[in-house]
């Protein structure tokens, strides 16, 4: 099945600037550094237990419906249970939606959390919550990303463990979450500054000729010429640093971004990960020759290259935002490629010995309403579900996660938690703890205020099977 692809492809010029490429080649980077709100951490505590070297976040942007996937309610009234039927899995007593047969066969690898919960109903605010673990500062309806936001996981990790080996701390792909003037928060390093932003890739890996031209030198630019440009930048560095200081940024931001860009350009590690042609046709076919499948394959290659956090946005900005026509959209367009791609990812990681060190997390910013709705745009048809953060589901695998279990239960209609709820902060703490990061570490923001990285607690039941 070929998946429809409705957003533009390519790598945004402003995204090049964020990671420093345009700054190195076109002298634009120090201006960005001058604008960035920089911050530093205070004495981080290092946990004794490390469970994962990498995390892959499979993000269902728009809000995955738990009723049609991980938390079926077959005994509920028709307007609650919907059209889909539950199917048995490889674990007795656990059922998934009928359009996830491959994941159902791998339920022994999955720990399903059915009681994620928060009170927000807005896409942008909720995305910030799930991808940072914190409420968005000054949140209001559709508040776009700003440098006052909390950092995404990759941004915080880069600040705590800066790298110099040519491998980024995080890569987001293949969709930059932006619609018109709205830029989704939670994609950047927020108040930590642009130097810690993850790479933002906006290119469909299933398209012919896919590559990452930003990681190779442009035609005609040799190593020698690059060295001469570096000398020129060093010569004008003091003036650029002075400009950065006047704008309130740290003077060292200039050299840090130049060094990062030089390392990235001269290292082949990251560039080789984007060469999907190196994979056999059989492997590519197992993932599916569509955007979801090939992006998940690329995620595996990035993990192999040493990238600690990869976020895969499943579809365009609001692909899973099903106010109408939910059953046909899920059945025909979204669930089959998701089922195939994620299942192939779990198998591939396992076969290569990577699943022991890679935490895979499947989650959206919220779920969908328990009752099917008649919504504007489709009068007379109750075939959609609205935004719903009161209860929703996620799933985890790998890196010590005890598979074949369900953690938490929603009520009879899938509207509220019936057992202990887990917050976005708990999700964040789980991600951080898996990577050996203390989620209680504090950063000083640009106003010299201490801000705690995360207020949640690790979902320990993922590893123990004992729900607290």
pLDDT in tens, 279-305: 999 999 999 999 999 999 999 999 999
- Write down the pLDDT at residue 260: 57
CATH of the domain at 241: 3.40.720.10
Does residue 68 fall inside a structural domain?
Answer: yes
- Write down the pLDDT at residue 20: 35
- Write down the pLDDT at residue 125: 97
Does residue 160 fall inside a structural domain?
Answer: yes
Distance (Å, rounded) from C-alpha 171 to C-alpha 299? 9
- Write down the pLDDT at residue 31: 30
- Write down the pLDDT at residue 424: 98
- Write down the pLDDT at residue 231: 67
- Write down the pLDDT at residue 340: 98
Mean pLDDT per 10-residue section of the chain, whose length is 468 residues: 37 35 29 37 49 96 98 96 97 98 98 98 97 95 94 97 90 93 94 92 90 60 59 65 60 55 61 91 97 98 96 92 94 98 98 97 98 71 91 98 98 98 98 96 86 95 81
Does residue 1 fall inside a structural domain?
Answer: no
**Of 20, 38, 5, nearest to 248 (Cα)?**
38
What are φ and ψ of residue 247, in 5° steps? -85, 0
- Look at the chain and count its residues: 468
Question: What's the distance, CA 247 to chain centroid?
Answer: 31
The tokens describing 319, both together, are 């692909």
Could you give the number of structural domains in the chain?
A: 1
Does residue 291 fall inside a structural domain?
Answer: yes
Q: Which residues contact 111 (CB under 8 A, 6 or more apart)?
A: 395, 396, 397, 401, 402, 403, 404, 405, 406, 407, 461, 462
Does residue 4 fall inside a structural domain?
Answer: no
- Write down the pLDDT at residue 316: 85
First to last CA, the chain: 42
Distance (Å, rounded) from C-alpha 342 to C-alpha 358? 14
Does residue 44 fall inside a structural domain?
Answer: yes
Calculate the alpha carbon distances from 119 to 3, 22, 395, 451 in Å. Answer: 32, 40, 20, 22
Q: Which domain holds residue 107?
A: 13-464
- Write down the pLDDT at residue 13: 34
The tokens describing 155, both together, are 């941004």
Does residue 200 fall inside a structural domain?
Answer: yes
Does residue 7 fall inside a structural domain?
Answer: no
Q: Which residues contact 51 (CB under 8 A, 6 or more apart)?
A: 359, 399, 400, 433, 434, 436, 463
């Amino acid at each position: 099945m070929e998946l429809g692809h409705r957003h533009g492809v390519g790598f945004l010029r402003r995204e090049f600037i964020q990671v420093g490429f345009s700054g190195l080649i076109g002298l634009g980077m120090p201006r960005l550094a001058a604008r960035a709100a920089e911050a530093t951490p205070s004495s981080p505590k290092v946990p004794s237990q490390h469970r994962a070297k990498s995390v892959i976040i499979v993000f269902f942007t728009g809000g995955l419906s738990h009723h049609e996937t991980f938390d079926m309610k077959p005994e509920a009234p028709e307007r609650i249970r919907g059209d889909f039927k539950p199917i048995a899995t490889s674990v007795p007593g656990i059922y998934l939606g009928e359009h996830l047969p491959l994941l159902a066969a791998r339920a022994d690898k999955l720990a399903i959390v059915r009681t994620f919960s928060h009170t927000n109903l807005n896409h942008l605010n909720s995305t910030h919550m799930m991808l940072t673990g914190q409420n968005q500062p000054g949140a209001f309806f559709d508040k776009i990303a700003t440098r006052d936001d909390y950092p995404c996981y990759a941004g915080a990790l880069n600040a705590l463990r800066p790298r110099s080996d040519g491998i980024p701390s995080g890569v987001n792909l293949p969709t930059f979450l932006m619609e018109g003037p709205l830029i989704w928060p939670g994609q950047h390093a927020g108040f930590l500054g642009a130097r810690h932003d993850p790479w933002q890739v906006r290119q469909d890996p299933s398209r012919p000729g896919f590559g990452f031209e930003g990681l190779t030198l442009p035609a005609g630019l040799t190593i020698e010429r690059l060295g001469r440009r570096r000398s020129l930048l060093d010569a004008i560095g003091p003036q650029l640093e002075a400009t950065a200081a006047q704008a309130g940024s740290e003077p060292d931001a200039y050299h840090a971004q130049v060094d990062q860009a030089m390392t990235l350009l001269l290292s082949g590690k990251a560039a080789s990960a984007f060469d999907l042609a190196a994979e056999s046709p059989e492997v590519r076919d197992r993932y599916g020759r569509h955007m979801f499948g090939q992006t998940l394959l690329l995620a595996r290659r990035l993990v192999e290259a040493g990238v600690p956090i990869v976020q895969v946005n499943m579809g365009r900005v609001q692909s899973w935002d099903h106010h109408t026509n939910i059953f046909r959209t899920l059945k025909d367009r979204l669930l089959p490629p998701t089922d195939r791609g994620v299942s192939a990812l779990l198998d591939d990681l396992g076969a290569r010995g990577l699943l022991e060190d890679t935490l895979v997390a499947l989650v959206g910013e919220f779920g969908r309403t328990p009752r099917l709705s008649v919504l504007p745009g489709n009068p007379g048809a109750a075939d959609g579900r609205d935004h719903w953060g009161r209860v929703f589901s996620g799933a985890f695998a790998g890196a010590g996660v005890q598979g074949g279990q369900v953690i938490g239960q929603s009520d009879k209609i899938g509207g509220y938690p019936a057992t202990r709820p887990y917050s976005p902060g708990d999700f964040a703490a789980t991600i951080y703890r898996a990577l050996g990061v203390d989620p209680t570490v504090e950063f000083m923001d640009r106003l010299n205020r201490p801000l705690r990285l995360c207020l949640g607690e690790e979902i320990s039941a993922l590893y123990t099977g004992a729900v607290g």
